Structure 1
Amino acid sequence: MAKGDDAIRRKKNKSSRKRMRSSESAVSARISAIIASKRRRKAGKRRICEAMCYSLPTPDDPFNDRHGKKEPEEKKKKKSKDIPGEKKNEKKLVFENGKNLVEQSCPSKFLIVCLNTIKDAWREEGEVEECDISSWGLDLWRCCSNGLSNVLDTSGPCATREQIAWLVSSVSDIVARKEKQGILVSSPCLLYIVPTQEKAVQVRSICKPLKALGIHAVSLHPGASIQHQLHGLKNCEPEFLVSTPGRLLELVSLKAVDISSVSFLVIDGLGIGSDEEIRYADKLNSIKETITSSPHIVVFSDHCDQMAALAHNLLGEPITRLSLNDSVTSRSVFISQHVHYCQSQELKITKIQEIILQSMHDNCKYTKMLVVMKSENKNGLTSWRLNLENCSITNASSSGSFSLNHREKTMRVVVKDEESLQLDKVENFEMVFLTDFPSSMKEYVGILKRIARHSVTGVLHSLFCQADAHLAKRLVNLLSECKQAVPQFLLDFDS
């Protein structure tokens, strides 16, 4: 049945209206405002003269509602107040190796995608996530993103599955953001050192689901032939490299892999599986020397006195210490605690002199020492500081602080009284001397944790007297838990 003239006309009018609407969206904002004003006039909604003598619509006011008047100042103030609230998600610029690296206030969607991909793979294999460590993961992500400090984790001898998942996801997020900025990322960008073959297989299995997101990981260990690994490295350029120290050095000597431009160096299980500590330390030092760039270093280690010097050498300063638990045994790893017994105030002064002189003569690596004294005893500091043998004193201040010089060794001694001491300043020193034992173990533990917050190794000296006998039992238990030497006089007080 043929269509009538009316139907054809309606169809043409409809298509013409569509063309008009599409053409209006293509014109400039000024022309669009004029067309809108013309439509209002035709519709009878004109309230006031909008001719050339009065005002014209503008892009800021296309419907001419303000009739040429400026925006009220109250509205401007409200808008300016809303701006600071939006700064919470504002991006900051951090300079790393001369390049701009975007630091976000919260993790990106890609990091969450990486975590969910790994967890989905665990669910498919029938494995369940053991615990939620999101707070620990966010702290690690912040440290890796800003690149300002290395990380020492003392939760246990080795990293858990969840810790490895957060670590590789954080690095993947940083790599993706760099590539988005057009920054060239070297391959491999992450070097993950493990002590055993079993650990290498575990880390590789956790990284495997990320291959679908463009992150390729390769594991190198003595369980496979070196020819097979040489062939695999020629056919791919992995972003993540998981290896034992010995096999990695073999492949580096054969020039099969280049680790000179690695951006992230992870050492998992420091001291585990290393019966010969000297050879193990030499291998790790050789690996670090091979890396010519300045990588961000993350070390997972439990209490191991033989590895304290190695951890300090690998990490350097500054560092941020992380742990899955807030126990003093975990937070104070590599921090030495020494408790000395003194019967009188005069003996305390003598003991302080002995310890400072001994530190100077032993070529102690610490250069800053904090001495915490009572206010009435602080004034007597000037009388005994001049009696230090074979040491010259310079830069003495009215507050009692001074510098000790012995041969080529210089130590800055800062003296504070208990009233003016701020515990936040304790973490700036690796060597702290408490001339009067704290009134409670909680205060002692707080000082101990703060010393360890931004230092790998440190020393806490404290003087114990008869008035502190009621704390002997708890102090003995604390020293035993931290694997520190317990003096005999404390055992006598306890008994």
Structure 2
Amino acid sequence: MVKGEDAVRRKKNKAVRRKIRKQNDSSAVSAKVASIIAAKKRRLSGKRRMCQGMCFSLPTPDDPFNDRHGKEEFKTKSTKKKTHTQKAEKSVDGKGATGRKDTLAGKENEVTESKNEKKKSVTATHNQGRECSIDLERASIEVIKKGSHCGRQGQDCVNSESPSKFLIWCLSSIENALRLDDAYTDGELFFNSWGLEFWKCYSTGKDIMETSGTSASTEQIAWMVSCAADTIARKEKEGLSFPSPFLLFLVPTQEKAAKVRAVCKALKPLGIHTVSIHPSATLDHQIQGLKSCEPEFLVATPERLLELVSLKAVDISGASMLVVDELNSICSADHIDTIKSIKESISGAPRLVVFNDCTSHKSLPMVQYLLPGSICRLSLNSSVTSQSSCIVQSVKVCESEEEKLKKSIQVLDQSWSGQTHKLDVLYILRKDVKSQKLVATLKSKGYSISVGSDTQKLNDSVDSDRRMKPAVSMIDVEHISTADIGKYDVVLLPSFVPSISSYVRILTRMARQSVNGVLHSFLTKEDSKLAGPLIEILEQCGQAVPEALQNLHLTSNMMEE
């Protein structure tokens, strides 16, 4: 029986609908095509598989280094009891300190990796849209391990092979902000030579004296504030709080205060708030501003800071780090007593960083007041002026060899009688009969003497009433190129060195761990040829030239004519 036209059309439409259903059904296609279709559906709906997060996820504010690859962080309940003091739970303004603590400590948790990793990389997305991959293995530095000299005031030394990820993150934030403002066009902060050396010195826990002879640059400020922010993050992670500003940054002018604050402003999204105070603003305005916030960093000129401290507008007693920039400029402006008052207002012993202009010795008493203990010298300037900063050069002209020996012993007695700290004394001698006479004289006075590194120790026992006398070391002038003289604060040259290059070598290598170095030189008419070069060294280092040395130089010129 022949079907009608309507039946044929219905059958044909049914076949078409079946074909369309098969095309839309992913189960009818191959497994590969089906996975592509499913992935597209998940991508459009905002859901991805775990493996896709590794390929397509981007850094976020909660996970800036993409450590979790887009995965959610699983939170587990802590079984430890939190024992925060009332001071830690509540800040000065009553808003509570937990907000800043969570901001810093939480971010520190997110960016901390195992210390045993040999390679760490950080991806910092610039505002211009480019990405900078940083290999921290290049920034690896050997750090002095924890020892007796580490950290005062209970501060722990940073004992790791490279700067922490949070510190690098702070540097990245600063660099991106400066590039956006067109205020920074040099190379990357991460591999700045001075910054890496500063981090190495900072990790030892000692005070730091910078002797390059210039004020703090943008790169140097960035590294100092980043190290301070890293310390805050680590301490707050341990449950500590800072009711007072953690960092005091003293500057001589309002312009320098603005420069420092411009660098620190980039750390505000990380929970570090900076306040700048200077004489250009009214006292009432600054008092109200300090009452409304709790800054971690305080950038100030000395006179205005002391005013606010005297009015009890700000409490700096708990400051943990003090940076003094352009110390000579501050001292030249008659703020010596102001600096001392600020230092006395800080309880305990804060970490100090002093930028000392090495071309003048006017600020030496202030440097010795601020840095009484063991220090780290930091300078990438290899000049004689920079390397001999804070070392006093004492030159005496004598009539005879006997007078030289007598005066050298008098200098040693005076140094010992007036000492307030451990004194390390070094005699640099020539091999002659006079040296043997000097050794015998010092032995008779009760000094403990060691001659060279390859000879026996002399005069091991001393009288009970003379045990406090310093041990005196003696080496031959021929061995100064190989001897380690960095630990000696007082060096005596009873017979002047044969060349001015030897004198410079001694001057730039002694007293590396203190600011109390003194180099005593004793000359006679036989050393008149070296008087001229020695005068040039003294003038170059900003030290007074004795009249007797000037006369010796004139005598030498007359003899040559």
TM over 0.5: yes
* Contact map agreement 1:129 1:162 (CA 8 A) in 2: no
Report 1:463-478 matches (<5 A).
463-465=522-524, 468-478=527-537
Secondary structure of 1:136's match?
helix
- Matched AA of 1:138: L
* Contact map agreement 2:320 2:350 (CA 8 A) in 1: yes
**Correspondence for 2:171:** 115
Gaps of 5+ in 2: 1-17, 36-115, 120-136, 451-455
Q: Relative to structure 1, is the Cα distance of residues 493 and 255 closer, same or farther in structure 2, using a 3 angstrom cutoff?
A: same
Secondary structure of 2:394's match?
strand
**Correspondence for 1:448:** 507
* Contact map agreement 1:150 1:297 (CA 8 A) in 2: yes
Secondary structure of 2:328's match?
coil
- Matched AA of 2:365: A
**Of 474, 481, 488, which aligns to 2:550?**
488
**Correspondence for 2:289:** 232
Q: Deviation of residue 158 (structure 1)?
A: 2.4
Q: Relative to structure 1, is the Cα distance of residues 276 and 406 closer, same or farther in structure 2, using a 3 angstrom cutoff?
A: farther
CA distance in 2, matches of 1:236, 1:323: 36
Q: Deviation of residue 426 (structure 1)?
A: 1.7
**Correspondence for 2:393:** 337
Report 1:418-433 matches (<5 A).
418=477, 425-433=484-492
The reply to whether residue 384 of structure 1 matches residue 446 of structure 2 is no
CA distance in 2, matches of 1:464, 1:190: 48
Q: Deviation of residue 153 (structure 1)?
A: 0.9
The reply to whether residue 139 of structure 1 matches residue 197 of structure 2 is yes
The reply to whether residue 414 of structure 1 matches residue 473 of structure 2 is yes
Identical positions, percent: 41
CA distance in 2, matches of 1:161, 1:401: 54
**Correspondence for 1:460:** 519
Q: How many residues align?
A: 421
* Contact map agreement 1:194 1:244 (CA 8 A) in 2: yes
What is the RMSD computed on CA atoms of the aligned residues?
3.9
**Of 283, 290, 302, which aligns to 1:245?**
302
- Matched AA of 2:220: Q
Q: Deviations over 1:169-209 (max 9, x none)?
A: 22223323334455445541111112222222221122112
Secondary structure of 2:260's match?
helix
Q: Relative to structure 1, is the Cα distance of residues 302 and 6 closer, same or farther in structure 2, using a 3 angstrom cutoff?
A: closer
CA distance in 1, matches of 2:143, 2:238: 13
**Correspondence for 1:393:** 446
* Contact map agreement 1:155 1:325 (CA 8 A) in 2: yes
Q: Deviation of residue 100 (structure 1)?
A: 5.2
* Contact map agreement 1:101 1:178 (CA 8 A) in 2: no
Q: Deviation of residue 478 (structure 1)?
A: 1.6
Q: Deviation of residue 327 (structure 1)?
A: 0.6
The reply to whether residue 211 of structure 1 matches residue 268 of structure 2 is yes
CA distance in 1, matches of 2:117, 2:270: 36
The reply to whether residue 258 of structure 1 matches residue 311 of structure 2 is no
**Of 217, 238, 241, which aligns to 1:160?**
217
CA distance in 2, matches of 1:193, 1:91: 28
CA distance in 2, matches of 1:90, 1:483: 35
CA distance in 2, matches of 1:218, 1:252: 15
Secondary structure of 1:103's match?
coil
Q: Deviations over 1:270-328 (max 9, x none)?
A: 13144564xx2222222222211321100112144332122111112101111231111
* Contact map agreement 1:111 1:172 (CA 8 A) in 2: yes
CA distance in 1, matches of 2:252, 2:394: 32
* Contact map agreement 2:210 2:377 (CA 8 A) in 1: yes
**Correspondence for 2:50:** none
Secondary structure of 1:168's match?
helix
* Contact map agreement 2:486 2:509 (CA 8 A) in 1: yes
CA distance in 2, matches of 1:90, 1:358: 40
CA distance in 1, matches of 2:397, 2:315: 55
Q: Relative to structure 1, is the Cα distance of residues 84 and 444 closer, same or farther in structure 2, using a 3 angstrom cutoff?
A: farther
Q: Deviation of residue 482 (structure 1)?
A: 0.7
Q: Deviation of residue 364 (structure 1)?
A: 8.2
Q: Deviation of residue 468 (structure 1)?
A: 4.4
Query: Which stretch shows the higher mean deviation, 91-100 or 238-247?
Result: 91-100
Gaps of 5+ in 1: 16-82
Query: Which stretch shows the higher mean deviation, 101-110 or 186-195?
Result: 101-110
**Of 338, 350, 353, which aligns to 1:283?**
338
* Contact map agreement 2:143 2:204 (CA 8 A) in 1: no
Q: Deviation of residue 141 (structure 1)?
A: 1.2
Report 1:75-154 matches (<5 A).
94=146, 96=151, 97-98=153-154, 102-129=158-185, 134-147=192-205, 149-154=206-211
**Correspondence for 1:437:** 496
CA distance in 1, matches of 2:413, 2:144: 47
Secondary structure of 1:107's match?
coil
Q: Deviation of residue 99 (structure 1)?
A: 6.4
Q: Deviations over 1:187-245 (max 9, x none)?
A: 41111112222222221122112212322110111111122112211222111111122
* Contact map agreement 2:448 2:472 (CA 8 A) in 1: no
Q: Deviations over 1:385-416 (max 9, x none)?
A: 377xxxx6365677457889999984443333
Q: Relative to structure 1, is the Cα distance of residues 153 and 404 closer, same or farther in structure 2, using a 3 angstrom cutoff?
A: farther
* Contact map agreement 1:150 1:320 (CA 8 A) in 2: yes
Q: Relative to structure 1, is the Cα distance of residues 493 and 366 closer, same or farther in structure 2, using a 3 angstrom cutoff?
A: farther
CA distance in 1, matches of 2:362, 2:176: 39
Q: Relative to structure 1, is the Cα distance of residues 321 and 10 closer, same or farther in structure 2, using a 3 angstrom cutoff?
A: closer
**Correspondence for 2:369:** 313
**Correspondence for 1:191:** 248
Q: Relative to structure 1, is the Cα distance of residues 225 and 91 closer, same or farther in structure 2, using a 3 angstrom cutoff?
A: same
Q: Taking structure 1 as the reference length, what is the TM-score of the superposition? A: 0.72
CA distance in 2, matches of 1:474, 1:124: 51
Query: Which stretch shows the higher mean deviation, 297-306 or 396-405?
Result: 396-405
The reply to whether residue 200 of structure 1 matches residue 253 of structure 2 is no
**Of 227, 233, 241, which aligns to 1:176?**
233
CA distance in 2, matches of 1:404, 1:210: 60
Q: Relative to structure 1, is the Cα distance of residues 422 and 481 closer, same or farther in structure 2, using a 3 angstrom cutoff?
A: closer
Q: Relative to structure 1, is the Cα distance of residues 115 and 346 closer, same or farther in structure 2, using a 3 angstrom cutoff?
A: same
* Contact map agreement 1:261 1:291 (CA 8 A) in 2: yes
Q: Relative to structure 1, is the Cα distance of residues 126 and 411 closer, same or farther in structure 2, using a 3 angstrom cutoff?
A: same
Q: Taking structure 2 as the reference length, what is the TM-score of the superposition? A: 0.65
- Matched AA of 1:137: G
CA distance in 2, matches of 1:372, 1:311: 27
The reply to whether residue 479 of structure 1 matches residue 535 of structure 2 is no
Q: Deviation of residue 459 (structure 1)?
A: 0.9
Q: Deviations over 1:345-402 (max 9, x none)?
A: 4343223234334545667877332111124443323443377xxxx63656774578
CA distance in 1, matches of 2:442, 2:494: 15
Q: Deviation of residue 115 (structure 1)?
A: 2.7
- Matched AA of 1:142: K
